[in-house]
Chain A
Amino acid sequence: AQRVTQPEKLLSVFKGAPVELKCNYSYSGSPELFWYVQYSRQRLQLLLRHISRESIKGFTADLNKGETSFHLKKPFAQEEDSAMYYCALRAGGYNKLIFGAGTRLAVHP
């Protein structure tokens, strides 16, 4: 069965510190992984997807199939990064998107 695990409910850091939001998945095939973000009083929106290998707002995420992980990283956190972050998995093609429980990132001045 597909499963996404985000072990941290809350991650609290100071501005300028590095950030790593953890995501592990369970799926036997070739997964598609995504990170979605929800800023305060805004809609949930796509942040980045693994196949694009892109950096968005300074965030990157690398798919590690050996460790079944897709951790989200940023070298220097900013206060505006404070939000709820969700990791998501799709078993390819037209299958549904499954989300993790989410991690709230709080960046303090």
Chain B
Amino acid sequence: GAGVSQSPSNKVTEKGKDVELRCDPISGHTALYWYRQSLGQGLEFLIYFQGNSAPDKSGLPSDRFSAERTGGSVSTLTIQRTQQEDSAVYLCASSLAGGEKLFFGSGTQLSVL
């Protein structure tokens, strides 16, 4: 594809519901990142996948957050039992292995009511 694709672009959910956010990286990019962007908090690292290595999950804020990457390509970020403080823009980015340049998606705006 032309770039990193994220879906949905907007998601409104009720507190306590589970949500899944999807990221399609650029073909051939082995590195994939999830970040959370919120006012006042900047760009918060969540999780990093690099090839077949174990993912770096050190940024996940709680055990309600999880992510997987199937076949080294598409990734899904799952938030269980959503809370209002989860409201933010969730950004996905991909790069070549050890690449210096990250290519970002347009993000998913998550609103938890």
Contact = CB atoms under 8 A, between A and B. Distances in A.
Contacts of A44: 43, 91, 93, 104
A99 B43 contact: yes
What band does the interface of chain B fall in when counting residues whose beta carbon is under 8 Å from A? 20 to 34
A45 to B, nearest CB: 7
Interface of B: 3, 31, 33, 35, 40-45, 48, 50, 53, 56, 59, 91, 93, 97-98, 100-102, 104-106
Contacts, number: 51
B105 A43 contact: yes
A13 interface: no
Given A44-B104, A94-B50, A102 B33 contact: no
Given A44-B104, A94-B97, A99 B35 contact: yes
